[in-house]
Amino acid sequence: MISLAAFEEIIDGSGVAPRIEVILPVGVRPRQLSVRTLLAGMCLTQADGRPAHLTRVHQALTALPEGDQRRLGVIADWKHGPHQLTCRQTERTFGLAAAALSKDEPDGLPSGPLQRICDDLLEASIPEEFKDASASLAVDWTDLESFSRPPSARGGPCAGPEASWGHRKNNLLRSEDELFYGYYLSAAILMPEEHGPAVPELARRATISSCHHDPVRALVPVLTAMPAAGTGLGDVLADSGYAHRDAGAWALPLRQAGAQLVQDLHPHDRGPKGTHHGAIIANGNLYCPATPRPLLELGPLARTATPDQAADHDRNTAELAILRTASSAGSPPTTLTATTACSARPPWARSAAPSARHR
């Protein structure tokens, strides 16, 4: 189990506790529970594998040795003697912090200040000797069920109003997805660079979003904000779920932030099912665009063909030869653009309606 001292070092190194205290309302009587102590209790609860309940946070704090309780303000001297923190006081400080960091109109995504606080806490948890050891990240998302039950009626009230229905893999023999009620949790994990030193696989960034939001689009602004915070982006490893979307949602903003994408292509973007935008280079491999059906059905030229028909046949044969050559070659064809973010369409794309189904 991680020690209290380690959590206090992370909280102090992030500098988030004073920032939260400043935006909390000031009451007539000072609060016994500080934000710093609240964060320490939340960390202790999670490190001990307890459910993320405020009652568990209170139990973790009141179970500390008496010396730590007095130092953290869990036990305070009141007029009539020592007073130990109550559940009501824990709920009060948490409620004030949650209200100060939430949006005026909740939309299923964290507010900017809340996301920056989470970013700073995770960055402070990276040991100093590993902060600059690697700039590579592995990203993925997973389902996170809500503690709340779904509303009994559509649009009705429930304990988790920002949660929503989402899909997750059931890991069974059948391919159907399961429904769950909750959120998508996205995380970016520190990874060793190619030919670089070994580094621990620590969470460097994370975000949570309602299932109404695309988890990939929710993670992008978190990653692209890293260079401005002093943490550069290197290789970003992702599976095909991140590749199969428009370039402006994932590839372009990350490349503009300095990242190099290393990811699997979605089955819809491989071989004859390829994108209509042009040839794709991914992980050093060339994937050709979807071959239009007229070229796939190209047969021998009829003996009675006119000169115009012969010219069209020669042109289509040349295009098909280029695609076949590019499929087995190590470099892109000269007539196509090799980029995942290309908007130029090959000459046949305007008339190749069948290939549009594989966008």
pLDDT in tens, 239-297: 878 876 678 889 889 999 999 988 876 666 555 455 545 565 555 555 655 556 666 56
Q: Where are the domains of the chain?
A: 4-101, 116-263, 267-358
Which of helix, strand or coil describes residue 336? coil
pLDDT for 342 = 36
- Residues of the chain with pLDDT > 70: what percent? 77
Distance from C-alpha of 194 to C-alpha of 104, rounded to nearest angstrom = 44
Q: To the nearest whole number, what is the mean pLDDT of the chain? A: 82
pLDDT for 200 = 94
Asked whether 279 and 333 are in contact (CB, 8 A), the reply is yes
Residue 347 has pLDDT above 50, yes or no: no
State mean pLDDT over 154-179: 79
Residue 45 has pLDDT above 70, yes or no: yes
Q: Is residue 350 very low, low, confident or very high in pLDDT (cuts 50, 70, 90)?
A: very low
Residues near 341 by beta carbon (within 8 Å), at least 6 away in sequence: 247, 251, 252, 255
Terminal CA-CA length for the chain: 49
State mean pLDDT over 202-224: 95
Query: What distances in angstroms separate CA 156 from CA 125, 145, 210, one per listed residue?
Result: 39, 19, 17
The string of pLDDT tens digits covering residues 70-115 is: 999 999 998 889 999 999 999 999 999 999 999 999 899 999 999 9
Which of helix, strand or coil describes residue 23? helix
Residue 48 has pLDDT above 90, yes or no: no
From the list 59, 46, 52, 65, the residue with the least C-alpha distance to 85 is 59
Asked whether 118 and 101 are in contact (CB, 8 A), the reply is no
Q: Is residue 26 very low, low, confident or very high in pLDDT (cuts 50, 70, 90)?
A: confident
Query: What distances in angstroms separate CA 169 from CA 139, 142, 180, 216, one per listed residue?
Result: 17, 10, 10, 17
Q: HSE (CB half, 13 Å, CA atoms) of 89?
A: 22
Distance from C-alpha of 186 to C-alpha of 208, rounded to nearest angstrom = 6
Quick check: pTM over 0.85?
no
- Among 129-143, 166-180, 184-198, 287-301, the least confident range: 287-301
User: Residue 223's Cα: distance from chain center in Å?
Assistant: 8
Structure tokens at 293: 């059906």
The string of pLDDT tens digits covering residues 283-340 is: 555 565 555 666 656 777 888 889 898 888 888 888 767 655 544 444 443 333 333 3
Which of helix, strand or coil describes residue 225? coil
145 forms bridges with which residues in the sheet? 182
Distance from C-alpha of 12 to C-alpha of 62, rounded to nearest angstrom = 21
Distance from C-alpha of 208 to C-alpha of 192, rounded to nearest angstrom = 25
Residues near 149 by beta carbon (within 8 Å), at least 6 away in sequence: 158, 159, 181
